[in-house]
Amino acid sequence: MAGFGATLARDLLIARREGGEALLAVIFFVIGTVLFPLGVGPEANLLAAVAAGLIWVMALLATLLALDRLFQADWRDGALELMALSPESLTLIVAAKCLAHWLVTGLPMVVAAPLMALLLNLPPSGWLTLIAALLLGGPALSLIGAVCAALIVGARRGGVLMTLLALPLYIPTLIFGAGAVQAAIGGFDASGHLALMAATTLASAALCPWAAAAALRQAME
């Protein structure tokens, strides 16, 4: 477990030193969402109807934006090889990197979500569910994305490939996440959707670090 704690602390420290670069994803999330009312026009009802879906799509895209960097820097400077050769489990090291990634990109998005909800005129009955869904489902985005990032590590034009790989895998999270908010707005019980999101995150937490570690080992040969 020493590898998990040390890697988490290291990646968070790197993110803090990079400052603005690490917050790029959440800035993209905010600015991208702000563009929709400007483009669609201030039609309050229209915006309210699509708000949940929009926020979730922006969250997916913003997560994707930051995933590129999850392994790329460590790959280039040889640090990944040293991680793979350490006695600590590479799976746990990858899990720590995913958690750090979520803390730096996913959590700020959760914090910014109420502001976005206000901006898009999302009915207040859906706010709590939106935050809960982003909290429960957000880690799955980082975890699933980590597998894709590990698969394209070392590839040229990895960013495009990354998008093609990851976005289809994000569809279940998107459906349950937006569905939960819509259900809450419609006055229905959203707990079923939220439970499915939590299940997605738990399953990803169990499988994705292991798969990503295997992909990284393959890439290093």
Partner 1 sequence: MAAHAFLIEDLACRRGGRVLFAGVDLALKPGAAALVTGRNGSGKSSLLRVLAGLNPPFAGRMLWQGEDTRREPEIFRRAMRYVGHADGLQTGLTVIENLRYWTQLSGSPSDRGALLSALAAVGLEALGDLPARMLSAGQRRRLALARPIASGAEMAGLWLLDEPTVALDGPSIDLIESAIARFRAAGGIVVASTNAPLSLPEAIRLDISEYEPEAAG
Q: State the residues that interact with partner 1 by CB under 8 A.
A: 2-3, 5-7, 10, 13-14, 17-18, 73-74, 76-79, 81-88, 93, 220-221
Cβ 59 to partner 1, closest distance in Å?
Answer: 26
C-alpha 101 chain-centroid distance: 8
The DSSP annotation for the chain comes to: -HHHHHHHHHHHHHHHHHGGGTTHHHHHHHHHHHHHHHHH-S-HHHHHHHHHHHHHHHHHHHHHHHHTHHHHHHHHTTHHHHHHHSSS-HHHHHHHHHHHHIIIIIHHHHHHHHHHHHHTT--GGGHHHHHHHHHHHHHHHHHHHHHHHHHHTT-TTHHHHHHHHHHHHHHHHHHHHHHHHHHHHTT---HHHHHHHHHHHHHHHHHHHHHHHHHHHHHH-
Q: To the nearest whole angstrom, how small is the minimum distance from the Cβ of residue 98 to partner 1?
A: 17
Q: CB nearer to partner 1: give 83 or 136.
A: 83
Of 2 and 128, nearer to partner 1 (C-beta) is 2
User: Judged by CB, which is closer to partner 1: 35, or 155?
Assistant: 155
Cβ-based nearer residue to partner 1, 83 or 144: 83
Q: How far is the CB of 31 from partner 1 (least distance, A)?
A: 25
Could you tell me the smallest distance in angstroms from the CB atom of residue 73 to partner 1?
7
Locate 28 and state its tokens. 């993209």
Closer residue to partner 1 (CB): 16 or 207: 16
Tokens of 212: 């990503």
C-beta of 78: minimal distance to partner 1 in Å? 2
Smallest distance from the beta carbon of 206 to partner 1, in angstroms? Answer: 22
Nearer to partner 1, 8 or 98 (CB): 8
